[in-house]
Amino acid sequence: MSAQFPTVRIVIADDHLVVRTGFAELLNTQPDFHVVGTASDGAEAVHICNELSPDVVLMDIRMPGVDGIEATRQLAESASAGPRILILTTFDLDEYVYDALRAGASGFLLKDVTAERLFDAVRVIALGEALLAPAITRRLISEFAQMQPGSGAPAAAALATLTPRETQVLRLVAEGLSNPEIARRLTVTEETVKTHVSRVLNKLGLRDRTQAVVAAYETGLVVPRFRGQE
């Protein structure tokens, strides 16, 4: 395991000591994980991350003082090589989770997640991938994208810089398709899809696939499907 995955340095931010301790003990059971610090609020999380440079942060949303959304925003804006942020939440269809995704989080998990799902999610995030559970994430974004158009979303001028194929790939990413699924749909190689996705992110100034999905909905490139349309 440790040969396949390099050691992932993790910070856990949650205002409940029991939650912080529980997640830390659980994650430290994995040979490729090392919890380097914990924080009880967003300000402390940012400070610890600036000092310790973790790979992944498990971030609660509702914390006193600086909450998880603002802490996520600060960490995402501090450097392109900053930590990947995994939001922990109690409710999947949560407007605050959506705000955290817009702020730069790479995905979210419910706090009652199974141990194996948590381990897998941390590894996915650490590798620089976005944690997109299509059914839940797409539904969340559909619920809130049109309610609060994002000032951080790419302008129409930025979308116009995409080639027709890149625009097509962005739509498919927003619909929840993985790279292999997009490759089969377009009859191209996975490597070609990865190249298109990378170019889309670079042109739009986005951090990862999660922000690409949010941008696609907020700009109207993809129209949200509401209940009864799935």
What is the phi/psi pair of residue 72, to 5°? -60, -45
CB 137 within 8 A of CB 94: no
Domains and CATH numbers, the chain: 8-131 (3.40.50.2300), 151-218 (1.10.10.10)
Instruction: Assign 168 to helix, strand or coil.
Output: helix
pLDDT digits (tens, 9 = 90+) for 125-173: 888 777 665 556 666 666 666 665 555 556 667 888 999 999 999 999 8
Cα dist from 167 to 2, 181, 190, 199, whole Å: 38, 16, 17, 11
- Sheet of strand 56-60, all strands in order from the earlier edge strand to the far edge: 33-39, 8-13, 56-60, 84-89, 107-110
pLDDT digits (tens, 9 = 90+) for 23-63: 999 999 999 999 999 999 999 999 999 999 999 999 999 89
**pTM summary value:** 0.76
